Structure 1
Amino acid sequence: MTNDLKTMDRRSFLNHSIGFTAALGTTSLGLSLAASGPAQAQTKPLVIAAPATPQSLDTEFDGSLGTLDMIGCLYDSLVAFETIPDPDIEGVLREDVADYPHLPGGLKLKGKLAEKWAVAEDGTWAEFDLRQGVMSNWGNELTAADVVWTWERKFALGAIGGFFTKLLGMSGPENVAAVDKYKVRFTLPQANPLLMKLQVNLYNNILDSTKCKEMATADDPWARDFLANESAGFGPYKLAQLVRGQQAMLVGREDYWGGAPAITQVVYKEVPTSATRASLVQGGAVDIALVLQPLEIEQLQKATGVSVASIKASPMFWAELNTKFEPFDKIEVRQAMNYAFPKEQVLETIYRGTATLMDGPMPSIYPGFKPTAQYKQDLEKAKALLAEAGLPEGFSSTLAYNAGDPIQEPMAILYQTALREIGVEISLKKIPAGTYFNEVSGRTQPIIFFTDTPWCPDPGYSIQLYFDSGTFSNYGNYKNDRVDELLIQASKTADNAARFEMMAEAEKIIGEEAPWVFISYPNFTVNMRSNVKGMTYYTSNNLRFQDFTYG
């Protein structure tokens, strides 16, 4: 990386990186780079520097950063949360995920592909009246058959969509039926409070079944090959180019039901090094730089021409304490591990203002959150807890971390140093990024750093995702019979007041039993040129390019 990138102009960067001019030439896509000048401002491409391009565009099988950003622009869901101004950052909106008991489903929603809906008070059914005349990027009209086929695909493939069907307690594809051409009905075997909340999920978009069926084959009846590399949806953009490892390009749809997006061309470029991404946005060669290190963010906050939005968000960062490994089967030991962690030091020296203290087992921005894990560093208390557990001289163990995340190694070293003061000696194990998740999901390590986000802003969803003893993502093998019982009870009632009370009890138990070292709530940070306006925060932690304009 040279200083040239800091001053490289926009056109120079684009022309020198992966043949951009040829890709956008009028002979290939009918597009061209806008000439500079006020009259052309709305047609210049929005250029994003990201760590990676999408690996797949199929929401059944890929949840990587690049994929998330593409899905929210290529597809639409039936409904969406209303938005409200962010209370901390001027000019930024965020989803209104609060509980509204007087509204259908307890949510403040706006229509997307559905213009009207009705929900049973007990959460056993919901009906959606679809907008008429909505066309896909392939020119096929939206009908109830598209919604039905989309859910049939979830059942058939049983991947991410299969997780949704299980959460809703669905018995089979027959739970989603077309009432008529433009009306679809969801009917569940029993009440379920997540029926409407899951309709908002980024990965509950609706597919153009006509196009998918056209591209299906006998060996691939659900068009997996096609949807991995193309889109078939009703969103505001269509895919113009995808060259993995280089860039993805989107074009705004003039026939989009909600009106053409303000920015009609988007270029999503793979720039693997965060320092390079930071320099590019500072120099003006790109409009948005994603996933930067805290020190780089701090420096950009002082830079001319750059706007940094660091937003309180849903991601969580913790250390799994695997209860199948001694001595982490003991509650007192897990509590001691929490009291030993140097949280304030980590927040100050590593996160540098881009995270807040984690004090509960779910995102603090979600309704139903209770601060039940209020551990701050107290080494004397940690020593006393180890003595209570029969380990007054401490013990030895191993802490694993992701080599691909630069903040994890210095954090591990700080923790290792603090633990020595209470007699606990941990060796550090650096896991290559390519195999890191296998170690997490395989539950192979006694302690391992992990970061994740429950996309559904609901306490029952969040707690079940990580602490139900039978769920796949309970990576620490935590089990508490009362927590399991509370989750079952909460899944069967649409009474949010009762559900939140149950989940408050579950949060209290989890906070006390400390199956995690509760570390931080990292902010969702977007680094933009100052003329980029319209940022909206979504709990799925992705961008929607249709929100942005040039100011």
Structure 2
Amino acid sequence: MTILHLHRQSLGMFAGLTIAASAASMPLSGAFAQSAAQTLRVANPVAVVSLDPFGAKAADQPTLTVTQEVLEPLVMRRDGAIHPWLAERWENPDNLTWIFHLKSGIQFADGSPMTSADVKASLDRVIAEKGPLAGLWAAVEAIETPDAQTFKIKTTQPVGTILSNLTMLGIAPAAKIRDPNFFSAPYGTGPFKVASFTAGQLVRLVRNENYWGEKPKLSQIEYRYIPEVSGRITALENNEIDFTWGLPPDQIDQVKDSKSLTVESFPTYSNYYMWFNNSRKPFTDARVRQAMWHAVDLAQIQKDLFPGTASLAKGPIPQAVFGSSVQTPYAYDVAKAKKLLADAGYPNGFETAMMWSSQCCAAVREFAETLVSYWAAVGIKVTPQELERATWLDRLLKLDWDSTLTDGNTLTGDADFTLARLYLSSAKRMGYANPKLDEILLAARAELDQAKRSELYASAGRLIWDEAVGIFPLDMMVHAVYRSNVKGFKPTPNAMPRFENVSKD
């Protein structure tokens, strides 16, 4: 069964869905369109609506893509390993204590010194705001600053994820971090600072002349939101922007032969997944969930919809992530799917619904149409629900859904960020609760030995996979497209491109 055949079957189902207005005809502002020699003009695929990465937007990729150039962490993950950054070294005098020694002489962009008080204030705010990353710090008992260059974390139990968690903590000035006005133009110790910000439209960064490291060659970075892919491609071809990413697979062929453009595709920490609401019948039965997985030919979907842009997933998190492991694939087997449904008490199938965000991911509607058609072949009638992102997110968090199709990003590159944050019973994210899984995930989080942590996450991944808590079809690649005069770009597996080492000819 091919995608083309499936698509014809399901064309009528989506006739009423609204499509975002094209941005191809949106005029670019004069300041944005006229590029200075070292101004990088970037079209981001999702709107930046906030520059505050400490609260509700702490895991929001558009926010983090910009603020990573401004607010730096104590440590960074580079080439799969954790490296010192604002901290020069650290130690564990015991299993409950982490002591970080900060590099000396580092200043914020306003010239004030960065001290341990700023680190403490930054972590305090993440915890106090109770946002999406607060759970990473649930075991913190005390945060201490013995002196201006020393930062100490004490925990109630051993936490093996402290370093990977810290890669997500940008440091802001303690004196400013609780001032909402600060985040209209925040600054930190990073290579750039914010010059102006119009939510949902434009962010302009300028070089931080007080930067402690190697000064960027770029004088400015301008991020503009162009919602339609066609609008971004047109802007690239017309030399109105220099860089964009997140193009869907069917658009890659359109630009890859251009002499003025470079296309770079690379594996990431991102994957497509479909969750079942495990607290709502019939998805309380693992056999139903497994049947829906066996009913879908994922290899054909990858070939038809995502050629060269995604690979078949081998586990619930991408293989590039620390703690990933290879699981036994679910074979496309219609007979087995029907038998599992019959064994679960649904020999004639059932009716359900699947929702997704219209702003979600590459080829999401085509992917959804295809899944719906496959399930129809085994008697499962799925009503598609394409929603605005705010509505989708509200329903997701309230567990007001049967199933949902989306993508995820293990931003820290560490399995804990996805597996423990989302699949612990206490997370209440997809109605799945398994004490055995909780035990494994909590043991992995508490383990300081990284090899043992990896083994525990492999066990957790196997359980999530075998129980079919969701369907994990594809590990995603990101496609960056930029003008040929852009030099020095290096892909980042967290799918949030960095530009401090970029220049323009």
TM-score by length of 1: 0.82
Q: 1:503 to 1:121 in 2, by over 3 A?
A: farther
2:174 to 200, 204, 209: 209
Structure 2 partner of 1:368:
323
Q: 1: distance between equivalents of 2:222 and 2:289?
A: 46
CA distance in 2, matches of 1:283, 1:318: 36
Distance 1:404-1:499 versus aligned 2 partners, 3 A rule: closer
Letter in 2 for 1:532: V
Query: 2 CA distance for matches of 1:348 and 1:526?
Result: 21
1:295–1:467: structure 2 CA closer, same or farther, 3 Å change rule? Answer: same
Residues 1:443 and 2:439 aligned together: no
Counterpart of 1:477 (choices 410, 431, 452) is 431
2:103 maps to what in 1?
131
Residues 127 and 538 of structure 1, relative CA distance in 2, 3 Å threshold: farther
Q: Is the 8 A contact 2:488 2:503 kept in 1?
A: yes
Alignment of 1:113-512 (within 5 A): 113-114=86-87, 116-120=88-92, 123-160=95-132, 162-166=134-138, 169-171=139-141, 175-201=142-168, 204-212=169-177, 222-223=178-179, 225-372=180-327, 374-405=329-360, 407-472=363-428, 474=429, 476-512=430-466
The corresponding residue for 2:85 is: 112
1:183-237 per-residue CA deviation (whole Å, 9 max, x = no partner) reads 2222223211011121222xx011112344xxxxxxxxx21x1233121311111
Question: What residue in structure 2 maps to residue 548 of structure 1?
Answer: 502
Equivalents in 1 of 2:337, 2:39: separation in Å? 54
8 Å CA contact retained: 2:270, 2:494: no
Residues of 2 paired with 1:49 and 1:460: CA distance? 31
**Is 1:57 aligned to 2:51, yes or no?**
yes
Contact 1:298 1:352 in 2 (8 A): no
User: Structure 1 residues 421 and 434, CA, compared in 2 at 3 Å: closer, same or farther?
Assistant: same
Q: Distance in 2 between matches of 1:433 and 1:373?
A: 33
Q: CA deviation at 1:181?
A: 1.9
Determine if contact 2:184/2:196 at 8 Å carries over to the other structure.
no
Match of 2:500, SS? helix
Residue 18 of structure 2: aligned partner: none
Aligned residues: 481
Change (3 A) 1:228 1:160: farther
Instruction: Please list the CA deviations of residues 63-109 of structure 1 after superposition, one character each: whole Å capped at 9, or x if unmatched.
Output: 4443122111111111212xxxxxxxxxxxxx322xxxxxxxxx541
Q: CA distance change for structure 1 residues 255 and 451 in 2, over 3 Å: closer, same or farther?
A: same
CA contact (8 A) 2:267 2:493 kept: no
Paired with 1:157 and 1:466, the residues of 2 have a C-alpha distance of 18
Contact 1:57 / 1:227 at 8 angstroms: preserved in 2?
no
Flag the 1:404–1:150 CA change in 2: closer, same or farther, 3 A. closer
Equivalent-residue separation in structure 1 for 2:231 and 2:474 (angstroms): 26
2:158 maps to a residue whose letter is: A
Looking at structure 2, the residues matched to 461 and 245 of structure 1 have their Cα atoms a distance apart, in angstroms, of 27
* Runs of 5+ unmatched residues, structure 2: 1-23
Q: Answer whether contact 1:397 1:446 (CA < 8 A) is retained.
A: yes
Counterpart CA distance in 2 for 1:268 and 1:275 is 17
- Once residues 196 and 452 of structure 1 are traced to their aligned partners in structure 2, the CA distance between those partners, rounded to angstroms, is 21
Q: Is structure 2 residue 43 aligned with structure 1 residue 71? A: no
Gaps spanning 5+ residues in structure 1: where?
A: 7-12, 25-31, 35-42, 82-94, 98-106, 213-221
Letter in 1 for 2:382: I
Q: Which residue of 2 aligns with 1:524?
A: 478
SS at 2:205 equivalent: strand
Using the TM superposition, give the Cα deviation of residue 274 of structure 1 relative to its aligned residue in structure 2, in angstroms. Answer: 1.1
Does the residue aligned with 1:546 lie in a helix, a strand or coil? Answer: coil
Provide the C-alpha distance between the structure 1 equivalents of 2:30 and 2:483, rounded to a whole number of angstroms: 24
Q: Relative to structure 1, is the Cα distance of residues 279 and 123 closer, same or farther in structure 2, using a 3 angstrom cutoff?
A: farther
- Residue 17 of structure 1 aligns with which residue? 28
Indicate if the aligned counterparts of 2:41 and 2:241 stay in contact, CA closer than 8 A. Answer: yes
C-alpha displacement of 1:351: 2.2
Change in Cα spacing, 1:528 to 1:155, as seen in structure 2 (3 Å) is same
SS of the counterpart of 2:404? strand
Classify 1:330/1:52 alpha carbon distance in 2 versus 1 (closer, same or farther; 3 Å).
closer
CA–CA distance in structure 2, aligned partners of residues 478 and 165 of structure 1: 22
**Partner Cα distance (1:401, 1:211) in 2:** 37
**TM-score normalised by length of structure 2:** 0.89
Give the 3 Å change call, closer, same or farther, for CA 326–108 of structure 1 in structure 2. Answer: closer
**Over aligned residues, Cα RMSD in angstroms?**
2.5
Describe the SS at the equivalent of 1:74.
Answer: coil
Q: CA deviation at 1:399?
A: 1.9
* CA displacement 1:423-469 (0-9 Å, x = unmatched): 22222222233311112222111121121112222233432122211
SS of equivalent residue, structure 1 residue 491: helix
Pair 50,397 (structure 1): closer, same or farther in 2 beyond 3 Å: same
Q: Give the distance between the partners of 1:491 and 1:66, measured in 2 at CA.
A: 27
Deviation at 1:537, TM superposition (A): 3.4
Counterpart Cα distance in 2 of 1:121 and 1:371: 35
How many angstroms apart in 2 are the aligned matches of 1:480 and 1:161?
A: 22
**Does the 8 A contact of 1:59 with 1:160 survive in 2?**
no
Q: Is the 8 A contact 1:127 1:185 kept in 2?
A: yes
On the 8 A contact 1:241/1:249 being kept in 2, the answer is yes
Cα displacement string for residues 42-66 of structure 1 (whole angstroms, at most 9, x for unaligned residues): x431111124542111112224443
Question: CA separation in 1, counterparts of 2:349 and 2:132?
Answer: 42
**Is the deviation greater in 405-414 or in 187-196?**
405-414
